[in-house]
Structure 1
Amino acid sequence: MAALLDNVKGALFDLDGVLVDTAKYHYLAWKQLAEELGFAFTEADNERLKGVSRTRSLEIVLEVGGVSLSEAEKHRLAEEKNERYLQYIRNMDESELLPGAKAYLLQLKEQGVRIALGSASKNAVFILEKVGILELFDSIVDGTKVSKAKPDPEVFTLGCHELGLTPQDCVVFEDAEAGVQAAIAAGMYVVGIGSEAILGAANRVVRGLDELVA
């Protein structure tokens, strides 16, 4: 990775599954919502929500249960789910950073690499504050700034623009297949975080950021 970074000026990170693991809290909140609607929502079902916006996540959950609702009811349920999720993440602290996350961000900063977040989460700033790494980011592109969900490249192209760089200057770190596709569509080098079986389209796949810390 050191050789790669010789030519990299910007690094864009997805949030969940790369820097922190909030997927467990999303899952619990969606599971509770599904139970209220009268059907089961499993961890296998939850895999379909990786890297997907809140609105699309709700649609997938409803598809799993075979439930049809009005737009007003969908909006109410999405807000209800988010409030449950917020109750969980209010208790987060630096101990919930994934292994190597902070050390790798600091390493990049020392090398003069500019850092952006590229996440669908609308709670990204709050989470970064809770785990103590918000100040390490030069740009935050989250669900409050973009309208198109991954695999659309909008989140990464905007992040690149906010860093004042070209796609060729940047590397993306992603744990979801849709995120890898978005990075490729944006014309950026992409490092998959997780399973090569799922993220094989990435330029490189590692288990976690701890593997990249010098």
Structure 2
Amino acid sequence: MIKAVLFDLDGVLVSTDEYHYRSWKKLSADEGFDFFDHEFNHKFRGVARMECIEIITKTSGKHYTPEQKQELANRKNRYFVESLANVTTEVLLPGAVAALNELRSRGIKTAVASNSRNAVTIIKQVNIAHLLDAVVDGHQIENSKPDPEVFLLAAKKVNVPPPLCLVVEDAIAGIESARRAGMKALGIGTRDRLPNADIVVPDLSAISVDNLLKI
């Protein structure tokens, strides 16, 4: 029986894709990367920021030192953080708040487990902090997904053994992270993109809490 549900944040509970896209687009304009568009942006889903920097600089063909790459990452994050002032509850995805409310009413622990270092800010902006028992973000971990660290730490924080935790994820790396943590995984998206998830649904409104807890 599932005793805790550990949610990735972006793409599961909220969608800040457009905010990330605009931030990467602004950085690309700064650097003269004319190849960056929405299709290229899909490569960054579930990928840590420095890995994204490696992808975009390699594609550009330009040489950047490690220090310059770090500056690019910092600048992109600054653009994104500045944009978060405009985030409202409109970015909440279908079924997210209803699922959190019902899980808590049943005594199921809830947590956000995200690679993002901006998770706490976003959670406050969309007013769901009171619906979570724990938050683990990029400030608290050394290894990003697909390493299982973020989910194992979240399970520890809610005091539930990994086999009794369900992960809700929208990225391949996140599903792999859940597997390595010894947890079941509900994928948000499509089966062809998330073949290793136990069940895949388009969003949280497409599955009842009863069925979610039976996974």
TM-score by length of structure 1 reads 0.93
SS of residue paired to 1:198: coil
In structure 1, distance between residues paired with 2:114 and 2:158: 15
Q: Which runs of 5+ in 2 are unaligned?
A: 210-215
Match for residue 25 of structure 1 among 15, 19, 29: 19
* Residues 1:112 and 1:125: Cα distance change in structure 2 (over 3 Å): same
Shift of 1:213: 4.1
Question: Does 2:36 correspond to 1:36?
Answer: no
Amino acid of the structure 2 residue aligned with 1:101: A
TM-score by length of structure 2 reads 0.93
Question: Does 2:90 correspond to 1:95?
Answer: yes
* Counterpart in the other structure of 2:162: 167
Shift of 1:67: 2.4
Aligned-residue sequence identity (percent) comes to 40
In structure 2, distance between residues paired with 1:86 and 1:46: 18
Structure 1 runs (4+) deviating above 3 angstroms are none
In structure 2, distance between residues paired with 1:147 and 1:45: 27
Question: Does 2:197 correspond to 1:205?
Answer: no
Match for residue 105 of structure 1 among 79, 94, 100: 100
In structure 1, distance between residues paired with 2:7 and 2:62: 34
* Counterpart in the other structure of 1:13: 7
* Counterpart in the other structure of 1:47: 42
In structure 2, distance between residues paired with 1:209 and 1:97: 11
In structure 1, distance between residues paired with 2:56 and 2:181: 29
Shift of 1:89: 1.6
Q: Which runs of 5+ in 1 are unaligned?
A: 1-6
* Counterpart in the other structure of 1:78: 73
In structure 1, distance between residues paired with 2:20 and 2:116: 11
Q: How many corresponding residue pairs?
A: 208
In structure 2, distance between residues paired with 1:126 and 1:77: 21
In structure 1, distance between residues paired with 2:53 and 2:133: 31
Amino acid of the structure 2 residue aligned with 1:77: L
* Counterpart in the other structure of 2:173: 178
SS of residue paired to 1:12: strand
Question: Does 2:60 correspond to 1:65?
Answer: yes
